[in-house]
Copies of this chain bind each other. A is one copy, B any other.
Amino acid sequence: MADSRFFANAGPFSLAHIAETAGAEIVNAPDSEREFHDVMPIDQAGAAHVSFLDNRKYTEKFRASSAGACIVAPDVVDQAPDGMSLLVTPEPYHAYARVAAMFYPMPLPNGAVHPSASVADDAVIGENAEIGPSAVIGAKAEIGMGCVISAGAVIGAGVKIGDNTRVGANASVAHAIVGTNTIIHSGVCIGQDGFGFAMGPGGHVKVPQLGRVIIGDNVEIGANSCVDRGTGPDTVIGDGTKIDNLVQIAHNVQIGQNCVIVSHVGISGSTELGDFVVLGGQVGIAGHLKIGSGVRVAAQSGIMRNVEPGLEIGGSPAKPIKTWFRELTTIERLARKKGS
């Protein structure tokens, strides 16, 4: 499936090995040592491929599939076509993600500092880390073991990057402490001054921004997103939080664990998010608010007040999702009436 010019296939793997990685039980497999060569969508897979069924709208395709093996939930086992081996697990998509990552692992760091990189004498580069061409590592910065600092990335003085973290091409990271196994994509800007001014009719005086950016483990920050450093308190992004491209995180924002923040979201200064908060694309949140754990926000919403944990909200200004829908249908009905 994958273009070999960009992706190296680490296979083949035996069904037994794949099942172990998937955390799945093998069903209907005469030979667990049989080898599989690739992952493939359900309608394209052949005898040497592993596929998966997660979204039930593809069940018809599953029944007609020629895949040699398929990762499935227990309740569809009896619908499998003859001759298909099954890898049964309650979470097929998670299992597929692990199997696909086994076939196509991220390229290992090359363990070298490129001769065109500029590394400060007192910077510390961990074992097996890769420092790409034209990359820059500032004074006293610490780069962990197995990190990849891609071409053109700039790591500021004093910054600490945890083990196995990757920083994309032309990203910049300053005034920050970053955890392990985190991915900072290309073009991301971390640690610049927050937008803080003493405003007045005589002009706006810059207020020194004396805090840092603290980023946890297993975080992902999408391309060209921005995270400003704190004013004195820090800006914090919790473990496991995933941030999409072109997102703005202002100074002093505190984001909990495992949040999902979609593209073009803007979070204003000093706002706090709990854990597992989901923000749809282009959502805006005003400053100094508290958004509780588990809150889910529809795309393009504008949040101007605190939100209790677990609520689903939408609209601008945002309100509970049912209230918002009722307002939308009320307007529709009234406009139709007037128009008739």
Contacts and interface: CB of A to CB of B under 8 A. Distances in A.
Interface of A: 1-3, 5-7, 39, 41, 91, 93-94, 96-98, 100-101, 103-104, 114, 116, 118, 132-134, 136, 140, 150-152, 154, 156-158, 168-172, 174-175, 183, 185-187, 189, 192-193, 195, 197-201, 203-208, 210-212, 218, 220, 222-224, 226, 228, 232, 240, 242, 244-246, 248, 250, 258, 260, 262-264, 266, 268, 276, 281-282, 284, 286, 299-300, 302, 316-317, 323, 326-328, 330-335, 338-339
B172 A5 contact: no
B187 A168 contact: no
A206 B101 contact: yes
Contact of A100 (B208, B211, B222): B208
Number of copies of this kind of chain in the complex: 3
Nearest to A116: B118
Contact of A245 (B136, B206, B208, B248): B248
A169 B195 contact: no
A167 B169 CA distance: 14
13 contacts: A41-B232, A134-B136, A134-B152, A185-B193, A187-B189, A189-B223, A192-B222, A222-B226, A224-B226, A281-B284, A300-B300, A327-B335, A330-B331
Contact of A5 (B100, B140, B263, B264): B140
Given A200-B91, A317-B328, A97 B226 contact: no
A151 to B, nearest CB: 4
B98 A210 contact: no
A245 B262 contact: no
Contacts of A93: 198, 207
Nearest to A5: B158
Contacts of A175: 3, 6
Contact of A334 (B250, B282, B330): B330
Nearest to A233: B41
Given A192-B223, A326-B338, A327-B332, 14 more contacts: A3-B175, A96-B207, A100-B207, A132-B136, A134-B152, A189-B223, A197-B242, A199-B260, A224-B246, A264-B284, A284-B299, A300-B300, A326-B335, A327-B335
